[in-house]
Amino acid sequence: MKFPVQLVHGRLIKRYKRFLADVCLDDGTIVTAHCTNSGSMKTCIEENAPVYLTPVNDPMRKTKFTWEMIFMNEDWIGINTSVPNMLAFEAVRDGEIEQLKGYTRVEREVKFQDSRFDVYAENDTERCFIEVKNVTMKVGDFALFPDAVTTRGRKHLETLIRVKQQGIRAVMLYVIQRTDVSKFGPAKEIDPEYANALKRAYESGVEIFPVQAKVTPEEIKIVRQLPFDL
- What pLDDT shows up at residue 52? 98
Domain boundaries defined on the chain: 8-78, 83-225
CATH code at 83-225: 3.40.1350.60
pLDDT band at 9 (very low <50, low <70, confident <90, very high): very high
Q: How sure is the predictor about 38, in pLDDT bands with cuts at 50, 70 and 90?
A: confident
pLDDT band at 61 (very low <50, low <70, confident <90, very high): confident
pLDDT at residue 181, rounded to an integer: 97
What percent of the chain stands above pLDDT 90? 90
Report d(CA 101, CA 16) in Å as an integer.
41
pLDDT at 216: 97
pLDDT-derived band of residue 112, with 50, 70 and 90 as boundaries?
confident
Angstrom distances, CA of residue 98 to CA of 2, 101, 159: 21, 6, 24
Average pLDDT over residues 40-48: 92
Q: Which residue has the higher pLDDT, 82 or 208?
A: 208
Q: Calculate mean pLDDT across residues 17-33.
A: 96
The model's confidence at residue 215, banded by pLDDT at 50, 70 and 90, is: very high
Residue 58 and residue 72 in contact, taking contact as beta carbons nearer than 8 Å:
no
Helix/strand/coil (H/E/C) assignment for every residue in the chain:
CECCCCCEEEEEEEEECCCEEEEEECCCCEEEEECCCCCCCCCCCCCCCEEEEEECCCCCCCCCEEEEEEEECCEEEECCCCHHHHHHHHHHHCCCCHHHCCCCEEEEEEEECCEEEEEEEECCCCEEEEEEEEECEEECCEEEECCCCCHHHHHHHHHHHHHHHCCCEEEEEEEECCCCCCEEEECCCCCHHHHHHHHHHHHCCCEEEEEEEEECCCEEEEEEECCECC
Summarize pLDDT for 117-175 with one digit per residue, the tens.
999 999 999 999 999 999 999 999 999 999 999 999 999 999 999 999 999 999 999 99
Average pLDDT, the chain: 95
Do the bridges between strand 207-215 and strand 169-176 make them parallel or antiparallel, or are there none, so unpaired? Answer: parallel
69: pLDDT confidence band, cut at 50, 70 and 90?
very high
8-78: what fold?
Answer: OB fold (Dihydrolipoamide Acetyltransferase, E2P) (2.40.50)
Section 187-203 average pLDDT: 97
- The percent of residues in the chain predicted with pLDDT above 70, rounded, is 100
Whether 8 shows a pLDDT value over 90: the answer reads yes
Which of 183, 174, 179 shows the shortest CA–CA distance to 216?
A: 179
Residue 111: what pLDDT?
A: 87
